[in-house]
Amino acid sequence: MDNITIVVAEASCLIQKGLVALLKNLDGTQVIQKLDKAEGLFESLSTLKPNILILNPDLFDGNADLINQSCAKLEACKLVIISNEKEVENKYSADAYIHYSDRQDKIMDCFESLKEDLDKKYKKEKSDDTISAREKNILKHIALGLTNKEIADQLFISIHTVVTHRKNITQKLGIKSVSGLTVYAILNNLISMDEVK
Amino acid sequence: MADVIQMNYMLIPVIYRFGINLGFGDKTVKEICDETEVDLNFFLQLVNTYHDKDYFPKEELQTIPSKNIVAYLKMTHSSYLNEKLSEIEGLIEALQHAEAEDEKYILLIRNFFEGYKNELTEHIMHEEELVFPYVLAVEEICKTGMVSARNRQLYESFSIVEYQDGHDDVEEKLMDLKTIMIKYLTPPSNTNLYHKIIQLLFMLEQDLNYHSRIEDKVLIPKMILMEKTVAELI
């Protein structure tokens, strides 16, 4: 993975700056946003889509329910809780925990292992980036303008399977609309231009 | 005002939509707003929203009359329909003329863009013909406390929840077009033109995002509140 993006949400400017300085030593990571208040945090996360969120629960007055609930909704984002409280591990469900009194090597170890996790996951995703022969066939049918039901009937599979294939195709190609998929199919000679109505 | 534009050139079309033209010398934002009879508060909120994507003054924007918001949204609509879309269309056409070999692929892109354009136009028409009159009617009822026959009819014909549900992502196609042009097409020999089209698509997308953010985050919550007031009145 080229660049791991990090958002730091911490009210204390000293701690925030300290964290950012430490993260500078970690290659392949980038702090893309620093916040010192809770407002707009989760809103901006949905657009920033960081790989790691470092959050101080004090921002939400230590409201564990709210934090756990909101963070559970974040897809593919690792959560690091930074706090001065004891036993934060039991209170919040995060991927890692940093305590104010932690030494530098402990903090760096924590980030290193998160980075490794993310790298591994990314490689896995990357390896099956191209669409399979089966998916190509489904894509062809989608491009011809068939509905999920029609595709299921023609290929003797369940609608549920068709939907799963569609989801995978969209995710791999980054194209959502039917007309976009059609263009892709023509460009890759899955169908000819005359076949499209 | 000149500083504002120096800071972010993307704001040029935004101020133009307010009827503010360039060539304002050293006049301040307030002076220009007074001259052109633009609500200073609304102008500032909106410009800040555009400029800083984390700045979103929901509460301040909520206090601005829907009439102003609708007027602004209408102006953005007409700029999409009359300028942006036809500009991109023109460039795609130019590309088509310039290329002999890859013509087939450019035709694909052109058809795709046409499809997108129609979808966006339809969406805009729906808003202008149905949603905006409804918004204005509800606001009038709230303000005057009176329900005229016409407004009553408008109120009963629609509900903002419907709009919220039907407010589907018209940007999907635009994103697909960009993805296709970036990832899957071999660029034609006129790369200059090709790159320009992609850049314009990015700009259009950004502009549309801000536009729909105002609709979703300001207009809809505002309407939900006002609908409640009206429901109590009736």
The answer to whether residue B58 neighbours chain A at the CB level (below 8 Å) is no
B104 touches chain A (CB under 8 A): yes
- Residue tagged 């990571």 (tokens): A29
pLDDT grade, residue B145 (50/70/90)? confident
- The verdict on A133 touching B (C-beta cutoff 8 Å) is no
Flag whether pLDDT at B59 surpasses 80: no
> H or E segment at A29?
strand A29-35
Strand partners for A78? A52
Note whether A187 and A120 are same-domain residues: no
Residue B166 pLDDT grade (very low, low, confident, very high; cuts 50, 70, 90)? low
Paired tokens of B34: 């007074």
pTM > 0.90: no
Cα(B17)–Cα(B38) distance, rounded to whole angstroms? 11
From A127, A146, A181, the end of a domain falls on A127
Instruction: Give the three-class secondary structure for A49.
Output: coil
- pLDDT-based confidence at B168, cuts 50/70/90? low
Please tell me the distance from the alpha carbon of residue A46 to that of residue B54, in angstroms, as a whole number: 12
Question: Does any CB of chain B come closer than 8 Å to the CB of residue A48?
Answer: no
Model confidence at B169, in pLDDT bands (50, 70, 90)? low
Choosing from A127, A154, A174, the residue where a domain stops is: A127
Same domain for A89 and A148?
Answer: no
Contacts of A110 (CB under 8 A, 6+ apart): A80, A96, A97, A98
Instruction: Indicate the pairing of strand A29-35 with strand A96-99.
Output: unpaired
Please check the confidence at residue B185 and state whether its pLDDT lies above 80.
yes
Residue B163 near residue B131, CB atoms below 8 Å = yes
A22 shares a domain with A87: yes
Last residue of a domain, one of A127, A158, A181: A127
Judgement on whether residues A23 and A56 belong to the same structural domain of the protein: yes
> What is the interface size between A and B, counted as CB pairs within 8 Å?
45
- Give the separation between CA B95 and CA B108, rounded to whole angstroms: 12
In the numeric block, the tokens 């889509």 are attached to: A49
pLDDT-flagged residues of chain A (< 50): 127
Residue reference for tokens 């009145």: B233
Nearest chain A residue to B53 by CA: give it: A44
According to DSSP, the residues that pair with A97 across neighbouring strands are A81
Predicted local distance difference test score (pLDDT) of residue A122 = 73
What sign results for the dihedral spanned by CA atoms B132, B136, B142, B147? negative
Q: Does residue A145 share a domain with residue A171?
A: yes
At which residue do the structure tokens 């296709």 appear?
B180
Could you give phi then psi for residue B19, rounded to 5 degrees? 85, 15
What ipTM does the predicted assembly reach? Answer: 0.76
Q: Which residue has the tokens 């329900």?
A: B147
Residues A90 and A14 occupy one common structural domain: yes
In 3-state terms, what secondary structure has residue B212?
helix
Whether chain B has a CB inside 8 Å of the CB on A173: the answer is yes
The reported pLDDT for the residue numbered B101 is: 64
The rounded Cα B228 to chain-centroid distance in angstroms is 27
Predicted confidence (pLDDT) per residue in B81-117, tens digit: 888 999 999 998 888 887 666 667 888 888 999 999 9
Cα–Cα separations (whole angstroms), residue B45 to A89, B216, B217: 42, 16, 14
Task: Say yes or no for a CB contact (<8 Å) between A179 and B176.
Answer: yes
Residue B180 has its nearest CB partner, among A47, A183, A193, at A183
Are B49 and B217 spatial neighbours (Cβ–Cβ below 8 Å)?
no
Mark whether A80 and A157 lie in a shared domain.
no
Examine the domain organization and report whether A141 and A109 are in the same domain: no
Mean pLDDT, chain B, as a whole number? Answer: 84
Distance in angstroms (rounded) separating the CA atoms of residues B156 and B169? 26
Query: Which residue segment(s) compose the domain that A23 sits in?
Result: 4-127
Question: Is A177 close to B179, i.e. CB distance below 8 A?
Answer: no
Total residue length of chain A? 197
A91 and A179 together in one domain: no
SS3 B83: helix
> What total of structural domains would you count in chain A?
2
CA angle (B124, B125, B130) in 5-degree steps: 110
Tell me which residue has tokens 């972010």. B8
A117 and A137 inside one domain? no
The per-residue pLDDT for A138 is 92
The CATH number given to whatever domain includes residue A159 is: 1.10.10.10
Mutate to test the interface with A, among B107, B113, B180, B212 (most CBs of A within 10 A): B180
pLDDT of residue A129: 63
Instruction: Determine how β-strand A78-83 pairs with β-strand A4-9.
Output: unpaired
B118 touches chain A (CB under 8 A): no
CA distance B217 to chain A (A): 11
A187 to chain B: which residues are within 8 Å by CB? 105, 108, 180, 184-185
Selected residue with higher pLDDT from B65 and A149 = A149
Angle between helices B132-144 and B220-233 (to 10 degrees): 50
In this structure, what CATH number is given to the domain that contains residue A65?
Answer: 3.40.50.2300
Q: What percentage of chain B carries pLDDT values higher than 70?
A: 93
Picking from A33, A176, A186, the nearest residue to B108 by CB comes out as: A186
* Burial class of residue B13 (count of CB atoms within 10 Å of its CB; 0-12, 13-18, 19+): middle
* DSSP labels, A133-155: HHHHHHHHHHHTT--HHHHHHHH
Q: Determine the residue of chain A that is closest to B115 in CA distance.
A: A179
Which of A47, A175, A193 shows the shortest C-beta gap to B179?
Answer: A175
CA distance B145 to chain A (A): 35
My answer on whether A123 and A180 are in the same domain is: no
Domain positions in chain B are 2-58, 65-233
Q: Give the minimum alpha-carbon distance from A43 to chain B in angstroms, rounded to a whole number.
A: 9
Instruction: Verify that A31 and A57 share a domain, yes or no.
Output: yes
Lowest mean pLDDT: which of A175-179, B64-68, B83-87, B146-150? B146-150
> Do residue A193 and residue B105 have CB atoms under 8 angstroms apart?
no
**Interface touch A175/B180, C-beta < 8 Å:** yes
> Closest to B112 (Cβ–Cβ): which among A173, A176, A183?
A183
- Band of the pLDDT at B189, cuts 50, 70, 90? confident
Q: How many CB atoms lie within 10 A of CB B30?
A: 12
Q: Which three-class secondary structure state does DSSP give residue A6?
A: strand
Contact A184, B176 (CB under 8 A): no
* A180–B180 C-beta distance less than 8 A: yes
Q: A58: burial class by Cβ within 10 Å (0-12, 13-18, 19+)?
A: middle
d(CA B99, CA B97): 6
The answer to whether A195 and A186 have CB atoms below 8 angstroms apart is no
Who's near B177: CB < 8 A, 6+ residues apart? A180, B109, B112, B113, B116, B201
Residue B201 pLDDT > 90: yes
